[in-house]
Amino acid sequence: MKADPHMHNSIYTRFLVARLFVVLALVLAAGAAFAQGSLKSEVPTIDIKNGTATATPIVVVPFHFEGATLPPETDVADVIANDMNRCGQFRALPKSDIVESPTRGSEIKYATWNMLKQAYILVGREIENPNGDIRVEFELFDVAKQQPLLGSGLAISGQRTGMRDVAHQIADIVYEKITGVRGAFWTRVAYITSTGVGNSIQYSLMVADSDGFNPQTVVKSREPLMSPAWSPDSRRIAYVSWERGNSSIYVQEIATGSREVVSASKGINSAPSFSPDGSKLALTLSYGGNPDIYIMDLAGRSKTQVTKHFAIDTEPTWMADGQSLIFTSDRSGKPQLYQAPIGGGDATRVTFSGEYNADPSISWDGKRIAMVQGSGNVYRIAVLDRATGESKAISPGNLDEHPSFAPNGSMILYAATEGSRGVLYAVSADGRVRQRLVLADGDVREPAWSPYRQRGQ
């Protein structure tokens, strides 16, 4: 077969143009980072720990910018490729191995990608709108079948500065098309940081994209902050703060910063968790003498007691149907997980293997529970399969804590201790792929994965 010199030349020219823009974009990104020192220090390091041979290979070809001005700083294809990698189910072809740069379906030479053993190929274009926004068009193809899975006409628009959001939304659509499960890349994570020591210690409640980018401070305090919990519409966060002296529970609107104290009773006020409909908060209060679990109606602030036991009962987490809670109790001697109906009534024990099981996070379908499993001085994240009763450790650390399921159950965020600092990891739910999110300096902990986002948030 003879190569068409014209075709080749045209692709090569386009390739060069694309390369030039990539270089420009990198220079711009570097310049921007240099100009804003704080931004530079807060860009997380993404560090994939283990690949997996069974992951599905996909190539995300760098998107072609079509506009009169400069391309956006964000490399959209790069963000999508990172998303695909970190979920553990895909393996994106490294950029250096992407030998051709088709920008639409008609330009794809399937033989090339077949030879590189790719299962799927994603191509796209970034078109500048007259108002400066960028419209990203994308197409997904099955390489073996040489057929479109997501055809032309699909596009997501966003502001220049919001291209990471656009990229995560495209990744979600691609993920869902191939796996049949809704993607959860376009979500956020809340977490707590502490910097400094002694009297100069500063605690912050932060919110960032689920890959650790775009960190924003929600609240800062000289006193400890703890236990961030998302409302189901992901507009509010409940948390524990000691800024009034004793622990109190606050609910804060993320966009406006307005907040209110919802619980400041005698004793501990901790472990807030929003009900699936957002109208109630499960929490741990000890004003009755020792820590028990209560449910507060947020509108009227009335409380009902769920557990009444001399043991420590804490860390309530709602089942998706809103009818029962999974929580930690040491009523058998050591902390274990229990389940209780919200209307009161007997609690039933959920965990039986392992001497220490605590701090549950429940998958959306209620079939799996991620928890902290302790043995001696080693604490790791384990996932309990409720059907079989078997649990499996999915983290390798010594002091791992606070698991939080992605809203689609595909990944789990948790905190680990490395030397004198805490760092966050995102791990595929099967434990095979881990990504470390290194966020600025200091101690980072208590990640809470947000629910799905709605457009306009």
Between CA 351 and CA 361, with CA 355 as vertex, the angle to 5 degrees is 45
Say if residues 354 and 339 touch (Cβ distance below 8 Å): no
Pairing of strands 147-150, 248-253: unpaired
Please enumerate, as own/partner, the contacts of 25-30 that have beta carbons within 8 Å and a separation of 24 or more: 25/70, 25/71, 25/72, 25/73, 25/75, 28/70, 28/73, 29/73
Among 233, 232, 403, 227, smallest CA distance to 320 is for 232
Q: For residue 376, give the amino acid letter.
A: G
3-class secondary-structure state, position 356: strand
Could you say which of 267, 276, 396, 442 contacts another protein (CB under 8 A)?
267
Q: Is 359 in the site for another protein (CB under 8 A)?
A: yes
Size of the site for another protein (CB under 8 A): 38
Minimum CB–partner distance for residue 157 and another protein (Å): 41
Minimum CB–partner distance for residue 251 and another protein (Å): 17
Could you say which of 72, 158, 335, 409 contacts another protein (CB under 8 A)?
335
Q: Is 330 in the site for another protein (CB under 8 A)?
A: yes
Could you say which of 67, 105, 162, 224 contacts another protein (CB under 8 A)?
224
Q: Is 219 in the site for another protein (CB under 8 A)?
A: no
Minimum CB–partner distance for residue 203 and another protein (Å): 8
Q: Which stretch binds another protein (CB under 8 A): 44-52, 105-113, 123-131, 268-276?
A: 268-276
Minimum CB–partner distance for residue 266 and another protein (Å): 9
Could you say which of 85, 169, 252, 328 contacts another protein (CB under 8 A)?
328
Q: Is 202 in the site for another protein (CB under 8 A)?
A: no
Query: Of 268 and 298, which has the nearer Cβ to another protein?
Result: 268
SS (H, E, C) 245-305: CCCEEEEEECCCCCEEEEECCCCCEEEEEECCCCCEEEEEECCCCCCEEEEEECCCCCEEE
Q: Is 404 in the site for another protein (CB under 8 A)?
A: no
Q: Is 356 in the site for another protein (CB under 8 A)?
A: yes
* CB neighbours of residue 76 within 10 Å: 27
Name every residue whose Cβ is closer than 8 Å to that of residue 149 and which is 6 or more positions away in sequence.
120, 140, 141, 142, 177, 178
Q: Is 227 in the site for another protein (CB under 8 A)?
A: yes
Q: Is 399 in the site for another protein (CB under 8 A)?
A: yes
Query: Of 62 and 422, which has the nearer Cβ to another protein?
Result: 422
Go through the chain and tell me how many residues it has. 457
Q: Which stretch binds another protein (CB under 8 A): 46-54, 62-70, 354-362, 386-394?
A: 354-362
CA distances in angstroms from 156 to 42, 77, 105, 131, listed in the order given: 27, 14, 18, 15
Q: Is 375 in the site for another protein (CB under 8 A)?
A: no
Could you say which of 127, 312, 319, 438 contacts another protein (CB under 8 A)?
312
Q: Is 195 in the site for another protein (CB under 8 A)?
A: no
3-class secondary-structure state, position 37: helix
Radius of gyration of the chain measured on its C-alpha atoms: 24
| Residue keyed to tokens 């376009």 | 186
Q: Which stretch binds another protein (CB under 8 A): 93-101, 209-217, 264-272, 300-308?
A: 264-272
Minimum CB–partner distance for residue 209 and another protein (Å): 24
Q: Is 118 in the site for another protein (CB under 8 A)?
A: no
With 0-12 / 13-18 / 19 or more C-beta atoms within 10 angstroms meaning exposed / middle / buried, residue 7 is: exposed
Q: Is 310 in the site for another protein (CB under 8 A)?
A: yes
Instruction: State how far the Cα of 15 lies from the Cα of 425, in Å rounded to an integer.
Output: 36
Could you say which of 50, 129, 216, 246 contacts another protein (CB under 8 A)?
246
Q: Is 324 in the site for another protein (CB under 8 A)?
A: no
Minimum CB–partner distance for residue 194 and another protein (Å): 8
Query: Of 163 and 225, which has the nearer Cβ to another protein?
Result: 225
Among 216, 303, 282, 288, smallest CA distance to 254 is for 216
Say if residues 49 and 111 touch (Cβ distance below 8 Å): no
Query: Residues 59-98 vs another protein: string with x where CB under 8 A?
Result: ----------------------------------------
Q: Of 272-301, which residues contact another protein (CB under 8 A)?
A: 284, 286, 290-291
Say if residues 374 and 356 touch (Cβ distance below 8 Å): yes
Query: Of 272 and 409, which has the nearer Cβ to another protein?
Result: 272
Q: Cα 125 to chain center, whole Å?
A: 26
With 0-12 / 13-18 / 19 or more C-beta atoms within 10 angstroms meaning exposed / middle / buried, residue 197 is: exposed
Q: Which two tokens stand for residue 4?
A: 């068409």
Residues that bind another protein (CB under 8 A): 224, 226-227, 240, 242, 245-247, 267-268, 270-271, 284, 286, 290-291, 310, 312, 314-315, 328, 330, 334-335, 356, 358-359, 372, 374, 377, 379, 398-399, 401-402, 417, 420, 446
